Structure 1
Amino acid sequence: MINPASVVVDKFLECTVLGSFSRVGYATRSRLESWIDPPSMASQRVVITGATSGLGFEAAARLAALGASVTFVARDESRARSTVNALQSRSQNERIEYILGDTSDLADMRRVAQCVTARGTLDVLIHNAGAITAARTLSPQGFEVTLAAQLLGPFHLTRLLLPVLTGAKPGRVLTVSSGGLYSQHFDLATLEMSSDNYDGVAAYAKVKRAQLVLNHEWVHHVSPRDVVFHAMHPGWADTPGLAASLPKFYSLARPWLRTPAQGADTLVWLAGARETSRTTGDFWLDRHPRFEHKVPWTRTRDPERDQAELWDWCVERTEQY
């Protein structure tokens, strides 16, 4: 039964960015709504990117503690091995492994997909890898690396894994976005920033907005009986990535930042809760679907057209790999 007071408080918090995105929002909502963990995931397989630190590590640890078999994608073998040991020790679950791969490398994503497919049905695919890149660099295929790692690579991997995700009836594809997307409108023409005007924070926010556009478009290509798609943002969480990429903001906001566990909570819930298998195409924070625009100038005139054009753009750039 829904607590009327919690609804009022939630709406109030959502109107104030500080109240909603900070640890205050998490603590208030979780207490008022008496959140509980998802049920056992002992029979399920999860693949997650970006799990060697921060939110990804926390999510992988909690999913493993729920009993899931967890495979994470990592670039560095030494770090991957130490992550396996840390996850196994914390979760008391031995069914944790890694596949080496770089999400910005489309050829790597095909190889990762082949490894995952060889193991059979996949229940949950989590796209978590992502960072703000200060200087413009290129992926192995020549795309700006933020765009490649957080949009093209995940898109390519998802398409390749659809056959094994469909076997879960439904599989789940979850994308970790960022509150930074609220500062950007979607514009395909300026999505890949050039060296002339490159700004790492803006490039990151543009890609995060594009992730939501694709999250909606997937619904037109895959039946929710087969695979459901959700995006979420963790609020402001205290992670190594935030400290390194936005040091001034980190210093100012640190007293208000969520713990990695608080930031990862909705991601874990989306992966395992029964009710989240019944909807698709939503954008979540703190276990509730959220509006995707906070200011009018981030809206576009024809969202459906934006979605279709971005889909075609991604297909054109990935299908040869």
Structure 2
Amino acid sequence: MPKELQPERIDGHTVAITGATSGIGFYAAAQLADLGARVLVLGRSESRGRTAVSALPDPARHEFVQLDLADRTSIAKVGDRLGELPRLDALVLNAGIVAGASGPGQAHRIGAFGVEEIVGTNHLAHAELLRRALPAVRRVVSLGSMLTRKIPFDRENWLSEKHYRARVAYAMSKHATEIFGFELHRRLAEVQSIVVHPGGAIDALRPGATVRRALAKPFRGIVRGKDQAARPVVAAVASPELRGGEYLGPHRTAAAEVQQPVPTSRDPELGEWLWTETERLLGSRIPAEPRHPIG
């Protein structure tokens, strides 16, 4: 497989993206729509969702689906609906709570899954959505983070039960996302599970943003606009040579490149442990085999 990847057209494919009303999720939706995909825009706000759909190429081809990852009833309803589709070519698990969104003093909160809300939303909510959607899913794209390289996975405090810092909780959620994504590949060989990290992204660097070039210049090569950060996600969905188990990150000229995650992300013992913990916290088993033919 080439190290550098460029997506191809995926006319007729259906792709669902969580958190697709803004940021990386929206830009991924737009780029995939450009490649011919039908995009299901999953998001919490109906007004923002319909605005996002209207901004996509050929908006009549796409659909907004209201999804609140903080609401287990909403997750169940949307997950079951996705699972009933004849075929879902890709499910992109993009949405999530970002550390510090409520300011430096962000408080520890318990979310819908009875654990700290950042890990609950970013990992457990997506795992439950996927569990219900599995009958239709062909490819899963999970968004990790380069923060996993800076903050190690803490198996004893991944749910912030001993002590809490929002940035660490966010890192734990992204470690969990990566570990679970690779374990998914090991357990469900017929479902292509690909993990992506988009690099650093800020809105100030996207085309057309009103920011002085002098302010943006020091960050070039370190962080990129969210339109650029969406490119590895698009490559993960629309690169036919991928077979699952890959870890993609940004590339300066190509859409993405195959990279290596931190060792804990690929650790099979840790993956088995997290899978079991995830099932325990969800209160449900995740099917050991996909329930669809491959074709």
User: TM class, shorter-chain normalised?
Assistant: 0.7 to 0.9
Instruction: Report the AA paired with residue 191 of structure 2.
Output: V
Q: Structure 2 vs 1, CA of residues 59 and 312 (structure 1 numbering), >3 Å: closer, same or farther? A: same
Instruction: Report the AA paired with residue 200 of structure 1.
Output: A
After TM superposition, the structure 1 = structure 2 runs for residues 1-321 of structure 1, keeping only pairs within 5 Å, are 36=6, 38-87=7-56, 91-130=57-96, 131-132=98-99, 133=101, 134-165=106-137, 171-194=138-161, 197-223=163-189, 226-239=190-203, 254-256=219-221, 257-276=223-242, 278=243, 280-286=244-250, 287-293=256-262, 303-320=267-284
Q: Secondary structure at the match of 1:48?
A: strand
Q: Tell me the CA shift for residue 205 of structure 1.
A: 0.9
Q: Tell me the CA shift for residue 259 of structure 1.
A: 1.9
Over the aligned positions, Cα root-mean-square deviation in angstroms equals 2.5
Aligned to 2:292: none
Q: Secondary structure at the match of 1:217?
A: helix
Q: Structure 2 vs 1, CA of residues 75 and 253 (structure 1 numbering), >3 Å: closer, same or farther? A: farther
1:155-207 superposed Cα distances (whole Å, 9 cap, x missing partner): 11112111111xxxxx110011111111232233211114x732111111111
Given that 1:55 and 1:239 are in contact with CA atoms closer than 8 Å, whether structure 2 keeps it comes out as no
Given that 2:182 and 2:195 are in contact with CA atoms closer than 8 Å, whether structure 1 keeps it comes out as no
Given that 1:105 and 1:149 are in contact with CA atoms closer than 8 Å, whether structure 2 keeps it comes out as no
Structure 2 Cα separation of the partners of residues 143 and 108 of structure 1: 18
Q: Tell me the CA shift for residue 118 of structure 1.
A: 3.4
Instruction: Report the AA paired with residue 30 of structure 2.
Output: A
Q: Structure 2 vs 1, CA of residues 320 and 252 (structure 1 numbering), >3 Å: closer, same or farther? A: farther
Q: Tell me the CA shift for residue 251 of structure 1.
A: 8.3
Q: Secondary structure at the match of 2:140?
A: strand
Q: Tell me the CA shift for residue 252 of structure 1.
A: 9.7
Structure 2 Cα separation of the partners of residues 68 and 153 of structure 1: 25
Q: Structure 2 vs 1, CA of residues 253 and 149 (structure 1 numbering), >3 Å: closer, same or farther? A: farther
Aligned to 2:212: none
Given that 1:72 and 1:99 are in contact with CA atoms closer than 8 Å, whether structure 2 keeps it comes out as yes
Instruction: Report the AA paired with residue 183 of structure 1.
Output: K
Structure 2 Cα separation of the partners of residues 153 and 252 of structure 1: 37
Is the helix fraction higher in 1 or 2? 1
Structure 2 Cα separation of the partners of residues 182 and 266 of structure 1: 18
Q: Structure 2 vs 1, CA of residues 164 and 82 (structure 1 numbering), >3 Å: closer, same or farther? A: same
Question: TM-score scaled to structure 2, two decimals?
Answer: 0.81
1:11-42 superposed Cα distances (whole Å, 9 cap, x missing partner): xxxxxxxxxxxxxxxxxxxxxx7x75x22222
Q: Tell me the CA shift for residue 141 of structure 1.
A: 3.4
Q: Structure 2 vs 1, CA of residues 201 and 251 (structure 1 numbering), >3 Å: closer, same or farther? A: farther
Q: Secondary structure at the match of 2:186?
A: coil
Given that 1:46 and 1:123 are in contact with CA atoms closer than 8 Å, whether structure 2 keeps it comes out as yes
Structure 1 Cα separation of the partners of residues 113 and 183 of structure 2: 24
Given that 2:92 and 2:141 are in contact with CA atoms closer than 8 Å, whether structure 1 keeps it comes out as yes
Structure 2 Cα separation of the partners of residues 93 and 79 of structure 1: 14
Structure 2 Cα separation of the partners of residues 255 and 105 of structure 1: 38
Q: Structure 2 vs 1, CA of residues 75 and 264 (structure 1 numbering), >3 Å: closer, same or farther? A: same
Q: Tell me the CA shift for residue 254 of structure 1.
A: 4.3
Given that 2:84 and 2:133 are in contact with CA atoms closer than 8 Å, whether structure 1 keeps it comes out as no
Instruction: Report the AA paired with residue 49 of structure 2.
Output: A
Q: Structure 2 vs 1, CA of residues 121 and 190 (structure 1 numbering), >3 Å: closer, same or farther? A: same
Q: Tell me the CA shift for residue 146 of structure 1.
A: 0.8
Structure 1 Cα separation of the partners of residues 108 and 139 of structure 2: 32
1:219-240 superposed Cα distances (whole Å, 9 cap, x missing partner): 23212xx211111111111238
Q: Tell me the CA shift for residue 67 of structure 1.
A: 1.3
Q: Structure 2 vs 1, CA of residues 51 and 274 (structure 1 numbering), >3 Å: closer, same or farther? A: same
Q: Tell me the CA shift for residue 52 of structure 1.
A: 1.2
Aligned to 2:253: none
Given that 2:142 and 2:196 are in contact with CA atoms closer than 8 Å, whether structure 1 keeps it comes out as yes
Matched residues, number: 262
- % identity of equivalent residues: 29
Stretches of structure 1 that go unaligned for 5 or more consecutive residues are 8-32, 166-170, 241-249, 294-298
